Amino acid sequence: MALASLVLGGILAPLACRNDGADDTGAPKEEIAAHAVAPDDLLAIAGQEVTLDGSTSVGTAFSWDLGDGSSAQGATVVHAWTEAGSYRVTLEVDGAPPDSDSLVVTVVNPPLSPAPVASGRLVGDGARLFAALPDFDQVAVVQDGVVTRVEVCDRPTSLSASAQGLAVACRDEVRWYDPELALLEVVEGAASAVLLQDGLWVLRPDGWLEGPEATTPALAGQVLVGGAGQVATAAFKAEEDHGRWWVGTDAGGQEHRLERDPGPDSDTNARGVPNLLGAGALRPDGQVWVWGGLKANTERGLYVEGTPLEHDNVVRSVLKVVDAATGQEREQPLFDNRDRVGAVAFTPLGDKLLVAHLGSRIVDVLDGTSMQRVGGFQEVGHGLDGLWTDGQVAWVLASLDRQLVAFDLQSGNAQVELARIDLVEEEVLTAQELLGARIFHTAADPRMSVDSYISCGSCHPEGGEDGRVWDFTQRGEGLRNTLPIWGMPLSGPWHWSANFDELQDFENDIRLHQSGEGFLAEADWAECQEPLGEEKAGRSEELDALAAYMQHLAAEAAPAAPQAKASDAAFLAAGCTGCHSGDRGTDAAWLAEDSPRLWDVGTLTEASGSRLGGELTGLRTPGLVGVAWTGPWLHDGSAASLEEAVLAHDEVVVDEDTLAEIVAYLRSW
């Protein structure tokens, strides 16, 4: 039934009904067939009375089972539920024969005032929606279906809107605008998230949180959530065996663990550490935090465990649900056939939680208390990374379609699309790059992966890396620490062992390890499936587009360095430029056909495995672009710091001061 408006307080006089089997003259009364008409589904607040009106029913007596163990008599009754949840309420009407009807009452706790706020790529202030457009250096402002675009700063990726205006976090600065979008303040330096709650909060990429009054260490995250005088974030990249979230104020806070899923691995679930947690929200009653991202199953592999990685047990969507009072995790929903959570949003009363899956083109609608799925929207668009709702309409940001899509939240299980609004007039990417961007981030395309689990963006978010070390022994390799796309050499070779000589070789990963159908025609695949064999370039429009987009990421997507350019004197003196040379900090090259330049700097172990199933004699020099953000370091992730990475090189022997100078230089790339 359609959701009816909430009716609080007030008692309607019940209809007077004789049920003694006689009329006013005492003559026997003819029995009538009962017809029960319960109200439409209701949304109620715990502890507040709700009127249930069944007076349009026909019958001789009326009774209600209120779903919480209590009952009531009469055509119209008043009741208050004390605990949040969903209750099936049944109206029984006597007659010959009797009849019954039911409704669902969704009960929520009273919301906080003011309401919690969260940063994101799509935010609203009640009258307007604001969508980040990183590729355009703009924010799109949507009001009454009309779109205007505001030039902001370099690659805006985090927004926050409130009565205080609009805050925008960019690659190298933060801008704060008043409600009329006049610039109030510019805060220099890179920011990964921003929040307006009793002032401006800025989360720096290194995890320092700058509040209105002071600065405190928090976590290196990509989302800020505020409510009840506190601000919280989750670490974007996890520790080896657990995730982390933090809550506090600018006077300090507390860090909490997010536990790995112990599995077991199956076709509906898998083990994994919560990672790439870029979505978060506080339920409007202030009692539950949710953190969304992806879980990574690095426990699996032929070397580390003796079991192969399969397409459905590598990465999966994850939503962590945390009790705000205790910091303990509650039971989490399980998402099958879904990739990374790209955005979350509660309805204003918290009765529903919207969950967008970045590359699956799906938005799930969950019950805000039980976290069980109650509906959703399919085939929404490409790159779902923003959500906003007023409880009546769900707005979804499909970034790679450059669109806002609106759905009716009151239509039950029907998918009713209300609007699809174009946010840009002229595209800044080439047609080939935009196609490549959609392919890179799409898990739902069966050519990319079966069952919608994996896309290129699953391990390379925003062209970066996931901070994981994967066991690629079954690929003819070994333990491999994920490399960022934006740090790669522009002309190859690629991967730690230089096992790809063209970016189109990712067709091999797609087909052989993601169980995708692939983008090459079968005849072409049969001819050129060997990575260093016949060229794949020019055989598939989609593969060529994917390669073009990866080149775009390498040229444009690197984050700002943690510090200004430092002296390279110590770096030069230590001989580091013998390998880390050029404008990308790598000497990667082909010395002859199928013969790449590889180095053994003393870090190879038994776990390093092979190269294309053969002997591994050395490694391709990794680039230095953005190297400070790519920990852990080295091909097997064995260095927990840049200092450890430098000292792991056999030929590098330096004192503490020189080491500090080298690391300062690395941090300035």
Residue 593, pLDDT score: 81
pLDDT of residue 4: 36
**Do 411 and 428 form a contact (C-beta atoms < 8 A)?**
no
Q: What's the pLDDT tens digit per position in 430-446?
A: 999 999 999 999 999 99
Residues 6+ apart with CB under 8 A from 284: 108, 111, 112, 115, 116, 346, 347, 348, 349, 350
CATH 2.130.10.10 assigned to domain 117-428? The reply is yes
pLDDT digits (tens, 9 = 90+) for 3-61: 333 332 332 223 333 344 444 555 455 689 999 999 999 999 999 999 999 999 999 99
Q: Which residue has the tokens 């039971």?
A: 331
The percent of residues in the chain predicted with pLDDT above 90, rounded, is 94
Question: Is residue 219's pLDDT more than 50?
Answer: yes
pLDDT at 283: 98
Per residue in 63-78, pLDDT tens?
Answer: 999 999 999 999 999 9
Q: Give the pLDDT confidence of 529-569 residue by residue, as tens digits.
A: 999 999 999 999 999 999 999 999 999 999 999 999 999 99
* Residue ranges covered by each domain of the chain: 1-108, 117-428, 433-666
Q: What is the reported pLDDT for 651?
A: 87
Mean predicted lDDT score pLDDT of the chain: 94
Residues 601-642 pLDDT 10s: 999 999 999 999 999 999 999 999 999 999 999 999 999 999
271 pLDDT above the threshold of 50? yes
Q: Provide DSSP, 309-333.
A: --TTSSEEEEEEEEETTT-PBPPPP
Architecture, CATH, for domain 1-108: Sandwich (2.60)
Average pLDDT over residues 202-210: 98
Q: What is the pLDDT of residues 470-501, one digit of tens each?
A: 999 999 999 999 999 999 999 999 999 999 99
Is residue 107 over pLDDT 80?
Answer: yes
Burial 372-404 (b: 16+ CB within 10 A, else e): eebbbbeebbbbbbbbbbebeebbbbbbbbbbb
For residue 520, give the nearest of 533, 529, 512 by alpha carbon.
529
Distance CA 81, CA 86 (A): 10
Tokens standing for residue 386:
């923003």
Give the mean pLDDT of 88-115.
97
The pLDDT value recorded for residue 10 is 30
Q: Which run of H or E residues covers position 204?
A: none
User: In the structure, what pLDDT confidence band is assigned to residue 592 with cuts at 50, 70 and 90?
Assistant: confident
* CA atoms of 607 and 106, how far apart (whole Å): 54
Regarding predicted confidence, which is higher, 510 or 31? 510
